[in-house]
Structure 1
Amino acid sequence: MADIPFNAERALKALAFFNRLRLPDVPGNPPLAEACGDWFRDILVAFLASEDPETKQRLVWELLCMVPKKNSKTTYVAGLGLTALFMEEAPNRQMLIVAPSQNISERCFDQAQGMIRLDTRLDAIFKVQDHLKCITRRKTGTKLDVKTFDTSIVTGEIPILTIIDEVHELGKKAKAAAVMQQIRGGGITKQGGQVLMITTQSDEAPAGIWKTELKKARAVRDGKGGKTPILLPVLYEFPAELQRDQDFWRDQRNWELLLPNAGRSIDLQRLIADYENNGRATAETEQIWASQHLNIEIGVGLAGDGWRGAEYWDLRADKTLTLKALIERSEVAVVGADGGGLDDLFGVCVIGREKVTRRWLVWCHAFAHPKVLEIRKEIAPRLQDFKEEGALTFCEVSEYVEKIAAIAAQVRDAGLLPEKNAVGFDPNNIAAFVDALALQKIDGFMLHRLRQGPALSPALWGLEHKLSDNTISHDGSAMMSWSVGNVKIEVKGNGNMATKQAAGRTKIDPVIAMLCAAILMSWNPEAFGNSVYRERGLLVA
């Protein structure tokens, strides 16, 4: 955490009030002076008392703290909210503590009102309205409302302070970015408005507003946040390279580095016992456990019933590998495609074989009907992220089958498609795509309808080997990392079948498109050649 200059008098006042608050749900009701670690007092002082020594202006307008579960963050932010309410002298203002679910918001309010009712002096300072989840400072009329997040939480006056608990959950809410913008509107007014976000890591790959906020906080932490950042990051996480090192983060001797409340709300030995008995039961439970208790960011998941190739996927990313670059570097290329209904993605994959090295080069893209944003609201923010990175395009069905056919034609016009088995796809629900290809004069033996399910096992196994021995590169899109991480392997007879881990919430169509292309490339094709295309009148342009 950065060393933030602060107003000493204001800091002492805030600490004196905060330290006398008592825990309402712990035997003996110890005061926070004993029960809270210094790590959170540092946050309290930085957030409520920061001050530029020369201008006397506030420095910290926003703060993001990411800390693992069971570090008492909900209890502590309830205390911070009460402290802020006590410190605010302006009349009739609004403050908010926002939680993503009713359970969390009720717990936060219960902690705050419990602290007040343990101290008669506080009962004289604050008025508690249980049915409204509202606490008012009697002297000023300023209110602290504890609310469950929805798009109507901010009405009328812009809050002068907003605390958001478990902000990572907002990554699953489609309009969270708009609400955050409304909350932040107070920050540019003369009175100012502060935002404190405190959360664990997400139990899925970061998406939506959570992905945005985490990226900003890391940039500030790493000195890339501009000349005058207003956000203070406090991120309890291992560096990215150590998060990828599973031996390192599984080493229990390193865990205490991430647990500022160890010895208070967290018993390290009980945490280890929980991991040994529950956390490591399966690859899926370990992944979720590590994300919540060690803030390990989920990218493409761990091994187990997931696809083994996922372990190596991120290691083979090449951000320079555009479709144009693939075409320039390849001696031959094939195309795979797969799609479903209006709530699915339609994936397209081009695999090229690199000149001289024969390394496989993989470029993928996805298309979706705009309806998917309404039908699958739980993944809408994630899909919008993919659109912004350029890996996903929203358009009508007729438009995206034409675009995919045009991609195949672009590869053909570069002289890279083979004479036979150039485009592979699922034979079901594909008529419109076949028609679009025919308009591009890609038809007949150039098309191959590939059986699905266990029939794609050779592609799964072949890609695993190529990923593990570093003979393949891909374009490194977040869209494909997510899709690869969604793959669950089911054994069917003598083969493996790629399925989704959860209906609706996950999509693997781009991965299936890649498997279709991999089958074709595994047959060692040779390019048909531009001259032959021209002789046979197959070149459109």
Structure 2
Amino acid sequence: MAHHVGDAWDTALPDWEQRIRNRESLIPNLPLFDVMAQKALRIFKRLRVPDIIGTPTYGEACEQWVFDLVAAIFGSYDPETKRRALREFFLLIPKKNGKSSIAAAIIVTAAIMNERPEAELLLIAPTKTIAEIAFKQAKGIIRLDAALTKTFHVRDHLRKIVHRVSRAEIAVKAADTDAITGGKATFTLIDETHEFAKKSSAAAVFVEIRGALAARPDGFLMQITTQSKEPPAGVFKQELDKARAVRDGDLRLPLLAVLYELPESMAKRGGWKKPATWGLVNPNLGVSVDPQFLADQLLVAERDGPAAMALLASQHFNVEVGVGLKTDSWVGARHWGSAGEEGLTLDELIARSEVAVAGVDGGGLDDLLGLAVIGRDRETKKWLHWAHAWAHPEVLELRKEIAPRLHDFETAGDLTILTGEDPTQDVVDLANYVERLFKADLLPDNGAVGLDPAGISAIVDELVGRGIDDDLLVAIPQGYRLSPAIWGMERKLKNGTLRHGGQPMMDWVLGNAKTEQRGNAVIITKETAGKAKIDPLIASLNAFLLMARNPQATALRLDDFLSQPVMVV
């Protein structure tokens, strides 16, 4: 039977929510090459699990979902054309479901099935410790099989396993210590993509890996990962978004995405805590995943607070971490998500507002410069929020761990990464935004722009040069004096009278903020010095204090004037 890459190999699963609820297979019906699929299953099932008492075979220890996945991986290879209909695989699955053990067995199976002489097979783990475990697992699989012991040469000191006939080589590497290049790899398996993506070079490595696939149509890239312990960012966010788009049918790629995650309607408001949902995302529940263990961990996490709950939800139930889940997080952050309003851009804010104020904070070379605008809707009187930030190149160099996030925010349009050619670009850009409010007659005649008293004089000079009078600029006392804004914003977020555009950058910024009680006051500080930026939030609090004065615009806007009732004398 002839197989063609086309609609038959479409891996979209638009009914995935129903399948999750019914505990059905998350792998669509595909025209697999049965000979290859069955051969791979025979090999995979014969391998022994080295770290389970009695060393059962994978055939004895695994559930059906594992066999379906193995069949899809190896059954997508056409033995006649030597090409794969599916080139990439993405498995999102909670901890304790045998993820690393399955990864080791898949890479060994690939080495046995491989037809390319001197092929390279990379098994990439996030840390040296996990790489050692992965190598020990692969080595143990081979040691427990007499035939495989003769076929493979294990080189312990190099974390390599060499096929004595084809000279194919399995190399186990750690993302945190080893140089990872995918330039020649035929098969690459990445364990815990969310950890690997923290490397500043991650995007370049993925380009290399995929470049190698282009020259090796018999190869594949597989990612096996749990959900991130923090809001997804960088390469992990890109890969996860792409996998979801393929699963949902919004993107056609030769990629199979198997995502064990609850539908949003079930996950929100703590729905993941119900034991009835645990087996939906833990296909090994009752096998390698102990329900009592999960119940015990839930009790402990509920006692320890939001941070522990977020960690448990992400690692054992694949719930995507959002804003305001830390024990010392700002209360307002917990209500931020529900205050979002799609399409609330600066243009929309200007069009709807009767008056607007701005707040500014930060601006050091190792900091972000944050601008926040708060407008008051002329119809509903709700407060409308928008923010932007600027980062100098030094931030990316000194804080490599947050560079992927900053690039994400740049892509979303929330942040500008300066080129370094013009060191005043951020000041000029910021003044351009404030000037838009000024020309729209939205700024009040006093208290229009709130700045940190230790702010940059260049901003003041630039604004004054645009005709924005000194009287419009206000020095906002910081520290405990921001308490009224902190408390006030909490209340307005909770009661729905402050709306924002759901900007990803603000989600991250609020996640970085922690609160400290100082006497009767409360202050907001960074969670971690240096890498956690909160400047756009402080800018927002500065703007909040100005709007709390109930300002009026300097001039009646034309459309407001035309809408006034005509007085007949």
Question: Taking structure 2 as the reference length, what is the TM-score of the superposition?
Answer: 0.89
Q: Give 1:73 shift.
A: 0.7
Aligned partner of 2:254 in structure 1 is: 230
Aligned partner of 1:538 in structure 2 is: none
Q: Give 1:446 shift.
A: 1.1
8 Å contact from structure 2 (residues 414, 505) kept in 1: yes
Aligned partner of 1:535 in structure 2 is: none
8 Å contact from structure 1 (residues 93, 159) kept in 2: yes
Aligned partner of 1:321 in structure 2 is: 344
8 Å contact from structure 1 (residues 326, 361) kept in 2: yes
> Which segment drifts farther, 464-473 or 165-174?
464-473
Secondary structure of the residue that 1:451 maps to in structure 2?
coil
Q: Give 1:531 shift.
A: 9.2
Q: Give 1:97 shift.
A: 0.7
What are the ranges of 5 or more consecutive residues in structure 1 without an aligned counterpart? 533-541
- Amino acid in the other structure paired with 2:259: L
> Which segment drifts farther, 19-28 or 274-283?
274-283
8 Å contact from structure 2 (residues 297, 312) kept in 1: no
The 3 A distance-change label for structure 1 pair 54 and 114 is: closer
| Residue pairs, 1:172-191, within 5 angstroms | 172-189=198-215, 191=217
8 Å contact from structure 2 (residues 330, 513) kept in 1: yes
- Give distance in 2, aligned partners of 1:193 and 1:415: 61
From 365, 370, 383, give the equivalent of 2:393. Answer: 370
Secondary structure of the residue that 1:371 maps to in structure 2?
helix
- Amino acid in the other structure paired with 2:222: L
- Give distance in 2, aligned partners of 1:45 and 1:446: 68
What are the ranges of 5 or more consecutive residues in structure 2 without an aligned counterpart? 1-25, 559-569
- Is 2:398 the partner of 1:392? no
Aligned partner of 2:479 in structure 1 is: 453
| Residue pairs, 1:60-99, within 5 angstroms | 60-99=86-125
Secondary structure of the residue that 1:405 maps to in structure 2?
helix
- Give distance in 2, aligned partners of 1:55 and 1:79: 26
Aligned partner of 1:539 in structure 2 is: none
8 Å contact from structure 2 (residues 83, 218) kept in 1: no
- Is 2:282 the partner of 1:259? yes
- Give distance in 2, aligned partners of 1:237 and 1:202: 13
From 112, 125, 129, give the equivalent of 2:138. Answer: 112
| Residue pairs, 1:111-150, within 5 angstroms | 111-149=137-175
> Which segment drifts farther, 193-202 or 443-452?
443-452
From 156, 178, 181, give the equivalent of 1:154. Answer: 181
- Is 2:218 the partner of 1:195? no
Secondary structure of the residue that 1:418 maps to in structure 2?
coil
- Give distance in 1, aligned partners of 2:415 and 2:510: 15
Aligned partner of 1:345 in structure 2 is: 368
- Amino acid in the other structure paired with 1:125: T
Q: Give 1:387 shift.
A: 0.6
Aligned partner of 1:276 in structure 2 is: 299
Q: Give 1:415 shift.
A: 0.4
- Give distance in 1, aligned partners of 2:440 and 2:248: 43
Q: Give 1:304 shift.
A: 4.1
Cα deviation 1:347-388 (Å, max 9, x = unaligned): 101110011211111110001111100000000000001111
- Give distance in 2, aligned partners of 1:511 and 1:416: 22
8 Å contact from structure 1 (residues 483, 511) kept in 2: yes
- Give distance in 2, aligned partners of 1:324 and 1:270: 51
- Give distance in 2, aligned partners of 1:314 and 1:53: 50
8 Å contact from structure 1 (residues 280, 286) kept in 2: no
From 245, 251, 254, give the equivalent of 2:269. Answer: 245
- Give distance in 2, aligned partners of 1:433 and 1:444: 12
Question: Taking structure 1 as the reference length, what is the TM-score of the superposition?
Answer: 0.93
Identity across aligned pairs (percent)?
46
From 466, 470, 482, give the equivalent of 1:440. Answer: 466
Secondary structure of the residue that 1:253 maps to in structure 2?
helix
- Is 2:486 the partner of 1:463? no
Secondary structure of the residue that 2:132 maps to in structure 1?
helix
Aligned partner of 1:536 in structure 2 is: none
Aligned partner of 1:513 in structure 2 is: 539
- Give distance in 2, aligned partners of 1:433 and 1:316: 30
- Amino acid in the other structure paired with 2:281: L
Runs of 4+ that moved beyond 3 A: 51-57
Cα RMSD for the two superposed structures: 2.1
